Structure 1
């Protein structure tokens, strides 16, 4: 799920621009390029002449700076190459750079576009719109625990820049939700939501100090970001990866799981990495924060408004209980 920060319109992508990118910057002559999806990034499958396959991302939303993208790719390289986790591995350009900048001096939109290339991971996407099965949830827990162990050990280069999922971030999410629902939900009700969230954040204290650790997290481990492979699950789409409490990844993963799925998720995680005492109550609070973030994003999409309005009473009641307890 993308950040609630303001976005720029996606740039129209021309086939010739892609061919020039692949040929000139990544040394992949005669590569075949297939569009996979359009969104905050334009994502393409690249099939090289020698049988190698890659994922090409054109960062059309302009969400991240060059430094932020380099930080993401540096971390992914450590996870894939050093820790050998099932995640995409970034590919350097012919010049040795993590990213390539395309120039469009004739365009009306911003004249530069950042691009990155990743290894292709074989696997089957998990079914769209379905939650993890208990078996999958256990594998998710194991993989997130391995990720967090590596994050604990990760020595980021100086000047690493990634989003920060802290108290101020979630308050911003709630304020965005308030603005987007201003014409459909009573103003006092929305004010009460902000007040409840503020009390909850005060009770939690700085998220960076929560038990369980704080470091680089995936920040969006929903089923759509996992691939089923022969030996387990692979984790993709680290575009939102940033600094946050490790428990927030678990909260996102079990946002809509039933009790059996949540038990399997925790069992998988604790088989690899321990959790702090009282984690159950912390996870409840972080699930509320994850829900606020999710609804704030969906509230920007008119076709998702019915779901947001249907989910709002549940969020409000859970937030009141946790903030007043």
Structure 2
């Protein structure tokens, strides 16, 4: 979290939020990268409280995200339901100086976190992963925002794509590569069958698994985007996490195993033409350029650990070569 936000997020602020939602004043912090996320208790029952600063999202953006979550929940997608405040709102605003924090409450997801070393991190899980995302895309085609809900933004409105702001002045080659990737994606055709509202960040850290079903959470990055991006992102993170220090050959072998099972599940729920599957490398490149901006925005050079430094260096090398994190010729 940015330092100026940390200074604003005082104990008084969180106590006020807990009181407003009639929550117990005991809590456990789960995360604080882009949002503050806490496990809280409502009459002894665990819930998830998310608190967002206005520099990250507007109230309208949050309401549009939660409206879509409610649609997916009604369609039977295994996601935590949105819980209304005592005032009947999905989002409550708390003004602090000349900014604000927005709070929302959710059910706690069923299941358990997944470790890369677990024996269940296998083809069965990858199949379920793809099947769940395919089901989300299929039901999203039916989605229309509720009355007074402003539509969620499109992918190219992302602040992180303002590359001049987040790339160094000496990184002209990287800047040119990033702009070329974005321009190529902008030229793709859009239809109801290939473009819609997507989660945009379904890596293994954003769902729990109960052995049979995947329960997705953290829809903060939801936006209108090409469906294939929601396939490329799980592939990117699963491969990068499983073989963070590894050869390209090792990553390619894992990618083939992962994507074969994943697509078997996905295509059962939502048919995406092969011509779009073949565009996965382009969207893997988009994740690289996006992440490079994230690291520059969120992690000051003096705060970068060895893992972040290694990750950024690998991204730079791939950008210079105009290559994706893995090769998927086996799909052609």
* TM-score above 0.5, yes or no: yes
Q: Who is 1:228 aligned against?
A: 209
Gapped runs of 5+ residues in structure 2? 240-253, 328-332
Equivalence for 1:9: 5
Shift of 1:160: 2.1
Match of residue 105 from structure 2: 117
TM-score, length basis structure 1: 0.80
Decide whether the 8 Å contact of 1:10 with 1:60 is kept in 2: no
Mapped to 1, the partners of 2:35 and 2:160 lie a distance apart of 26
Task: Check conservation: 2:47, 2:106, Cα contact below 8 A.
Answer: yes
Aligned to 2:135: 146
Judge conservation of contact 2:67–2:149 (CA < 8 Å) in 1: no
- Equivalent in the alignment of 1:162: 152
In the alignment of these two chains, the number of paired residues is 300
- Asked if 1 retains the 8 angstrom alpha-carbon contact of 2:199 and 2:230, the reply is yes
In angstroms, what is the RMSD of aligned CA positions? 3.1
Task: Name the SS of the counterpart of 2:270 in structure 1.
Answer: coil
Tell whether the 8 Å contact from 1:70 to 1:99 is kept in structure 2 after alignment: yes
SS at structure 2 position matched to 1:20: helix
- Gaps (5+ residues) in structure 1? none
Residue equivalent to 1:20: 16
Within 5 A, what are the aligned runs for 1:1-325? 9-23=5-19, 25-28=20-23, 30=24, 32-49=26-43, 51-60=44-53, 62-80=55-73, 82-104=74-96, 107=97, 110-127=98-115, 133-157=122-146, 158-166=148-156, 169=158, 172=161, 174-176=163-165, 179-180=167-168, 182-183=169-170, 185=171, 187=172, 189-190=173-174, 192-194=176-178, 196-197=180-181, 201-202=183-184, 204-207=185-188, 209=190, 212-255=193-236, 256=239, 258-300=255-297, 301=299, 302=301, 303=304, 304-319=308-323
Counterpart-to-counterpart distance in 2, 1:112 and 1:170 = 19
With over 3 angstroms needed to count, the CA separation of the structure-2 counterparts of 1:46 and 1:92, relative to structure 1, is: same
- How far residue 34 of structure 1 moved from its aligned partner, in angstroms, is 2.1
1:40 to partner: Cα distance: 1.8
Paired residue secondary structure (1:86)? coil
Contact 1:134–1:264 at 8 Å: present in 2 too?
A: yes
Q: Give the direction of change, closer, same or farther, for the CA distance of 1:250–1:8 in structure 2 (3 Å limit).
A: farther
Say which is worse superposed, 70-79 or 155-164, in terms of deviation. 155-164
TM-score by length of 2: 0.79
- In structure 1, C-alpha distance between the alignment counterparts of 2:290 and 2:103, rounded to whole Å: 27
SS at 2:282 equivalent: helix
- Relative distance call for 1:36 and 1:194 in structure 2 (3 A) is closer
CA contact (8 A) 1:170 1:293 kept: no
Tell me the distance in 2 between the aligned counterparts of 1:8 and 1:249: 32
